[in-house]
Amino acid sequence: MNRIAVRVTTEYLPRQSVPSQGKYAFAYHIRIENRGEEAVRLLSRHWIITDGNARVKEVRGPGVVGETPRIEPGDDYRYSSSVLLDTEVGTMEGSYQMISDQGESFDAIITPFLLAAPGAVH
C-alpha cells in the first residue's frame, strides 16, 4: 500500500483565460493524505506539464505554495494552485519529494490528470 495518497480535482478558470490569445487557465486542488505509520514532510515538488501540442514543461521547486508541510499519520494537507496553458487541453503529473520522521527520503507519485476547458474533450 502506498503510504501517501495524492488526490486532485481541477477546474477551468474562464475569467483568467483568453482563448483568442491561446491562454487557458486552470486551477488544481490537491489533497495529500498520509496513510503511513509516521509523520512525513513535503520537501519539494516536480511537475511535468504537457499541453495539447505535446509541448512539455517541467517545474521543480521547494515545497508547495510557500510551505513544506508536515503531515501526521491519518492527516492530510490540502492546497490549491493554478497553471496557464497555451491549449485548451493538457495534462499534469509529477511527484512530491518527502522525508519521514525517521529520515527516509521517498517520492510520492502524482498520477497524470487532465486539464480541459469545457467542451474541449468529447
- pLDDT tens-digit map of 32-79: 999 999 999 999 999 999 999 999 999 999 999 999 999 999 999 999
What's the angle, vertex CA 85, arms to CA 93 and CA 110, rounded to 5?
10
Three-state SS for 27?
Answer: strand
Average pLDDT over every residue of 12-29: 97
Asked whether residue 122 carries a pLDDT value surpassing 80, the answer given is no
- Angstrom CA distances, 105 to 16, 54, 59, 60, 110, stand at 37, 31, 20, 17, 16
Q: Are 52 and 114 in contact (CB under 8 A)?
A: no
Give the pLDDT of residue 16: 97
In whole angstroms, give the CA distance from residue 50 to residue 62: 21
What cell was used for 44? 519539494
What is the residue-averaged pLDDT of the chain? 95
Q: How many other β-carbons are positioned within 10 Å of the β-carbon of residue 32?
A: 22
